Amino acid sequence: MTSIHTASMSYINRYYEETRERHSIIFITAKHKSPFAPTWDMVKQHKAGTMSDEEYTDLYMKKMRALWKKDRSLFDEILDEPSVVLVCFCPTGKFCHRHLLANIFEKLGATNYGECT
């Protein structure tokens, strides 16, 4: 079963080669058109402070449940990798969907090793 890690874009920019040698790097941002990204509306509203962490979490979990129903193979592809790093733009230590997604994969049987720092 896969090992899940999370990292910020700035971490990956700094340690790209070392990280790539040991893990599959998966960008989960709206900019990368990832199926695991939040919607642009969620990104904008959360950034503007008009959407709370709780609302964002609720919408994100709903989006992921819908994705699971629609195309479960997207999750299986990640669970088939030996080691994965989920990457988005949010700085380390901030509320962020990469941690929500890591928790989802943990529930699906992966081991969550947390943030690369």
Which residues contribute to the site for Zn ion (CB under 5 A)?
A: 88, 90, 96-97
How does 81-97 read in b/e, with b if 16+ C-beta sit within 10 Å? eeebbbbbebeeeeebb
Under 8 Å between Cβ of 25 and 106: no
Length of the chain: 117
User: Nearest distance from residue 28's CB to Zn ion, in Å?
Assistant: 8
- Residue 37 or 110: which CB sits closer to Zn ion? 37
Q: Which is nearer to Zn ion, 93 or 109 (CB)?
A: 93
CB of 106 to Zn ion, least distance (A): 17
Q: If you ran DSSP here, which 8-state letter would residue 112 be given?
A: E
Shortest reach from residue 89's CB to Zn ion, in Å: 6
* Residues of the chain by 3-state class (helix, strand, coil), percent to 5: 50, 20, 30
Closer of 85 and 96 to Zn ion (Cβ): 96
Nearest approach, Cβ of residue 10 and Zn ion (Å): 12
Q: Which is nearer to Zn ion, 109 or 116 (CB)?
A: 116
